């Protein structure tokens, strides 16, 4: 299994420091390796967890990446560093106030190939868009969110916490293969805020 190189992750985290994506009340805790409250029942995830997820996602330069549950926009900006300017990163978030916050933070992050949009009610991801090479989900799903599998290119990768376990899901590479035949592997136990799917 390919993983994002540690060096690329180091560069991304250095370029997009966590404190730029936090409310003033918790900026002083940016260096703490734990989740931080960003309001509206949402959190900015633990840095160690974010790094582990990005490593599993194995983002390559020039790819299209979907960030589901963008929250403060930090993960969206980190993904943009990994794709480089030849890529496209779209974060989706359902809380309007967080969409405004994250859009401003990502807009100031020096990665104009990345953006944050408000998620459509009752719609998971961006099914009307061209398919993505990678999909990252930063909220806990009860079951594998199968609509996201169909938003991947053949051979694309989804990383998502499901029922307490981190899953890496690879869509079959054959263009005519059923996305439901994806390869699923488990990578440890985690806690996240719930993924809202309706």
- What residues are labeled active site? 45
CA distances from 14 to 17, 90, 135 (A): 6, 21, 22
Closest CA to 137 of 124, 128, 150: 124
The number of angstroms, rounded, from the C-alpha of 144 to the middle of its chain's C-alpha atoms is: 15
- Rounded distance between C-alpha atoms, residue 71 and residue 76, angstroms: 9
Q: What is the rounded distance in angstroms from the CA atom of residue 141 to the CA atom of residue 130?
A: 23
Residue 193 DSSP label: P
Q: What six digits make up the tokens of 162?
A: 């499901």
Q: In the numeric block, which tokens belong to residue 61? A: 């330069």
SS3 call for 92: strand
Of 81, 71, 89, the C-alpha closest to 15 is: 81
Please tell me whether residue 82 adopts helix, strand or coil conformation.
Answer: helix
């Amino acid at each position: 299994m390919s993983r994002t190189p540690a060096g690329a992750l180091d560069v991304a985290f250095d370029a997009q420091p966590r404190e730029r994506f936090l409310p003033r009340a918790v900026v002083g805790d940016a260096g703490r390796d734990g989740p931080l409250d960003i309001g509206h029942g949402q959190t900015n995830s633990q840095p160690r967890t974010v790094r582990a997820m990005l490593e599993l996602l194995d983002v390559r330069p020039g790819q299209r990446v979907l960030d589901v549950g963008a929250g403060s926009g930090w993960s969206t900006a980190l993904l943009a560093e990994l794709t480089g300017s030849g890529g496209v990163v779209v974060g989706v978030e359902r809380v309007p106030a967080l969409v405004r916050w994250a859009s401003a933070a990502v807009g100031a992050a020096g990665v104009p190939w990345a953006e944050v949009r408000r998620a459509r009610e009752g719609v998971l991801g961006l099914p009307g868009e061209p398919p993505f090479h990678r999909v990252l989900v930063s909220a806990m799903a009860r079951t594998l969110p199968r609509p996201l599998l169909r938003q991947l290119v053949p051979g694309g990768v989804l990383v998502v916490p499901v029922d307490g376990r981190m899953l890496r899901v690879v869509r079959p590479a054959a263009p005519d293969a059923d996305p439901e035949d994806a390869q699923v592997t488990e990578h440890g136990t985690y806690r996240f805020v719930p993924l809202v799917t309706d």
